């Protein structure tokens, strides 16, 4: 599996650390309540098919990257910087 | 038909014409008291104990493919009960005791072999941790034995005791641990359940739940609607996909774990060796193949195959601890999909939907748990109360902070 780092270009999977679903970007308000925080910390969509997750380019530029990927075929469909993804969402 | 030595002799003398299929292929009925989704080890064990221990007369197992075609046929066949935490150890010791009597209970040769398992120790800190774990095991009625370097060397003289990074300083042994013929577990439970009237329905994929006013009344399948008073899901690996039909989000991610078998070799490994510090474990099958594995690949996946970096990592672990493995050729490798839960421990519980029950989150430790998982899930389905060794495996433990985190790494599934 190779991942396209928006800064460094196409790199081997080994250079990246996997964090989890990209929902981690949308951190709830500290006062959002127990249920919201429980869902944020513990519950996952875990789709079979297209998913978006967070990878850290620890063996490269140190960027956090949102990777759009297929969990059934391991095909990488697209990448963007996590900072760009957060700006687009807000 | 009961299997026995006498039966083998009789069939040998009469041309093996009397064996017959080991289970029926029934058509689904319109309604069952209890439907178990998933014809793997856990689902079939659940059906067996529902019929035998809890006297249930109307039980069906629904399997989307063929029974035993999932993780019960894709694991590395190890059984053990060497856990630390109170929520886990009594459950796994209950499971090991069930393994010890399983073949008599099922009248089926599952090749349960208590050849022993040794967790290698490389440092003072690890010896302290394993001593504590051994004490926890003994307190819960399991067996544990702390070995010094000389004792490990007597049993496994060819391991790399002088590795610069991980010199072997001893081991924690559980003599009652070992291996089981994994496919035979599925077949044995299926045959025993079928003989007590359980309908095992293959090629029947569940495509949805019928839920009315918060109560599950049956399942939509590729072979039509089947009604049920209670529905139990035991599809670890596919839990996310199945429970999405009930609009449930789970504290689970699906990850791929790879395993490997070498060509057949003469007997060299009498038991199971785990090299936890380097993420490598190995045993030898009765056919002679070295069966080994390591870490999960580390990213969400539903593909039953992994990537090459982990293959390299596992082989490096093997070379570090057992250098002669480098002369063996790899025969097969494969991947299986794990329900990796948020604390590394399973879930056996009711859901918020009446009549819908869940069994999953087994991470990469589901095989050893098969009999106890089936027994306790059957107890829950039949009595609506948790079995006393499975009371900690609740859905709400994440919300309330009662995680059962053996490794202490927090809610990061790929680190468990």
Range of the domain at A9: 2-89
Say which of A44, A51, A71 has its CB closest to residue B250. Answer: A44
Is the pLDDT score of A87 beyond 90? no
Average pLDDT over residues B9-32: 96
Model confidence over B67-77: pLDDT tens digits? 999 999 999 99
What does CATH list as the number for B117-178+253-341?
3.30.9.10
Contacts of B411 in chain A (CB under 8 A): 41-42
Contacts of B303 in chain A (CB under 8 A): 71-74
Model confidence over B321-351: pLDDT tens digits? 999 999 999 999 999 999 999 999 999 999 9
Query: CA gyration radius for chain A?
Result: 14
Structurally, chain A folds into a number of domains equal to 1
All residues at 6 or more sequence positions from B392 whose CB lies less than 8 Å from its CB, including other chains: B86, B87, B88, B91, B345, B402, B404
> Percentage of chain A surpassing pLDDT 90?
88
CATH superfamily of B5-17+29-81+83-108+182-251+344-415: FAD/NAD(P)-binding domain (3.50.50.60)
**CB of B393 within 8 A of CB of B360?**
no
Contact at CB, B249 and A73, closer than 8 angstroms: no
Q: Over B240-274, what HEC string results?
A: HHHHHHHCCCECEEEEEEEEEEEEECCCCCCCEEE
CATH 3.50.50.60 intervals, chain B:
5-17+29-81+83-108+182-251+344-415
Is the pLDDT score of B220 beyond 80? yes
Contacts of B241 in chain A (CB under 8 A): 48
CATH 3.30.9.10 intervals, chain B:
117-178+253-341
Contact at CB, B301 and A74, closer than 8 angstroms: yes
In this prediction, residue A88 carries a pLDDT of: 85
- Here the tokens at position B50 are 């529902």
Average pLDDT over residues B314-319: 96
Write the ipTM.
0.94
Contacts of B413 in chain A (CB under 8 A): 20
Q: Could you tell me the CATH number of the domain that includes residue A43? A: 3.30.2270.10
- In total, the C-beta contacts within 8 angstroms joining chain A to chain B are 67
Is the pLDDT score of B162 beyond 90? yes
**CB of B254 within 8 A of CB of A71?**
yes
Nearest residue of A to residue B413, measured between CA atoms:
A20
- Residues of chain A with a CB closer than 8 angstroms to some CB in chain B: 1, 12-14, 18, 20-21, 34-35, 38-39, 41-49, 51, 53, 71-74
Model confidence over B239-283: pLDDT tens digits? 999 999 999 999 999 999 999 999 999 999 999 999 999 889 999
Q: How far is B110 from chain A (nearest CA, A)?
A: 33
């Amino acid at each position: 599996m190779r991942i396209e780092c928006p800064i460094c270009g196409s790199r081997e999977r080994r250079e990246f650390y996997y964090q989890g679903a990209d929902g981690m970007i949308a951190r709830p308000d500290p006062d959002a309540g127990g249920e919201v925080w429980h869902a944020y910390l513990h519950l996952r969509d875990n789709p079979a098919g297209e998913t978006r997750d967070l990878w850290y380019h620890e063996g490269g530029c140190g960027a956090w990257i949102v990777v759009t990927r297929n969990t059934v075929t391991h095909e990488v469909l697209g990448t963007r910087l996590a900072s760009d993804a957060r700006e687009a969402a807000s | 038909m009961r299997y026995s030595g006498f039966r083998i002799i009789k069939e040998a003398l009469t041309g093996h014409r009397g064996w017959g299929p080991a289970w029926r292929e029934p058509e689904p009925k319109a309604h069952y008291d209890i439907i178990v989704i998933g014809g793997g080890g856990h689902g079939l064990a659940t059906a067996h104990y529902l019929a035998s221990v809890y006297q249930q007369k109307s039980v069906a197992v629904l399997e989307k493919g063929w029974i035993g075609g999932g993780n019960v046929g894709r694991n590395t066949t190890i059984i053990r009960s060497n856990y630390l935490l109170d929520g886990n150890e009594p459950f796994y010791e209950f499971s090991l005791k069930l393994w010890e009597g399983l073949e008599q209970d099922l009248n089926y040769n599952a090749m349960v072999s208590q050849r022993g398992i040794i967790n290698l120790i490389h440092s003072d800190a690890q010896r302290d941790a394993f001593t504590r774990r051994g004490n926890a095991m003994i307190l819960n009625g399991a067996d544990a034995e702390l070995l010094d370097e000389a004792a490990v060397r007597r049993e496994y003289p060819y391991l790399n005791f002088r590795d610069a990074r991980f010199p072997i300083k001893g081991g924690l042994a559980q003599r009652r641990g070992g291996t089981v013929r994994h496919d035979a577990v599925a077949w044995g439970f299926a045959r025993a359940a079928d003989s007590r009237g359980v309908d095992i329905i293959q090629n029947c994929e569940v495509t949805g739940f019928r839920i009315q006013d918060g109560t599950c009344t049956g399942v939509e399948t590729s072979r039509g609607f089947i009604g049920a008073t209670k529905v139990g899901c035991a599809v670890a690996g596919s839990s996310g996909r199945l429970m999405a039909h009930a609009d449930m989000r789970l504290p689970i991610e699906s990850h791929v774990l790879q395993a490997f078998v070498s060509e057949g070799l003469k007997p060299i490994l009498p038991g199971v060796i785990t090299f936890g510090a380097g993420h490598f474990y190995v045993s030898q099958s009765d056919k002679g193949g070295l069966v080994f594995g390591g870490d999960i690949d580390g990213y969400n996946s539903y593909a039953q195959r992994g990537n090459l970096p982990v293959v390299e990592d596992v082989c490096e672990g093997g070379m570090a601890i057992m250098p002669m493995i480098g002369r063996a050729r790899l025969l097969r490798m494969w991947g299986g999909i794990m329900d990796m839960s948020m604390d590394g421990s399973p879930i056996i519980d009711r859901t918020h939907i009446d009549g819908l029950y869940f069994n999953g989150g087994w991470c990469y430790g589901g095989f050893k748990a098969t009999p106890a998982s089936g027994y306790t899930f059957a107890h829950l389905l039949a009595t609506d109360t948790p079995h006393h060794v499975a009371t900690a495996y609740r859905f709400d433990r994440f919300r309330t902070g009662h995680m059962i985190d053996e490794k202490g790494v927090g809610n990061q599934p790929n680190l468990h």
